[in-house]
Amino acid sequence: MLLEDGVAAVHLEAIGAHDPVDVTGAGDTVMRLTPCACFRFFFSDAARIANYAGGLVVMKRGTASVNLDELETQYITSTWSSR
């Protein structure tokens, strides 16, 4: 959930598998990507992108990361991007 002063709360759905493979690094991914995305997007869009990246990371084993190409490809082909 994203909370901003003077703006309606935004609920962010879980992205990816309902049974994560490994949650190592998912929070780090979200925390790292959110401020970066804020430079180019509204907070709500940045939070959705960061949440999506975290969802991709939990589907990988061990400490993992998501690169921009992977994030873009998965986002474009997902049903989430049409919400």
Catalytic residues: 28
Alpha carbon 16 to chain centroid, angstroms: 10
User: What's the rounded Cα separation, in Å, for the pair 61 and 64?
Assistant: 7
User: What's the rounded Cα separation, in Å, for the pair 50 and 26?
Assistant: 10
Q: Is 58 left (phi over 0), alpha (psi -120 to 50) or beta?
A: alpha
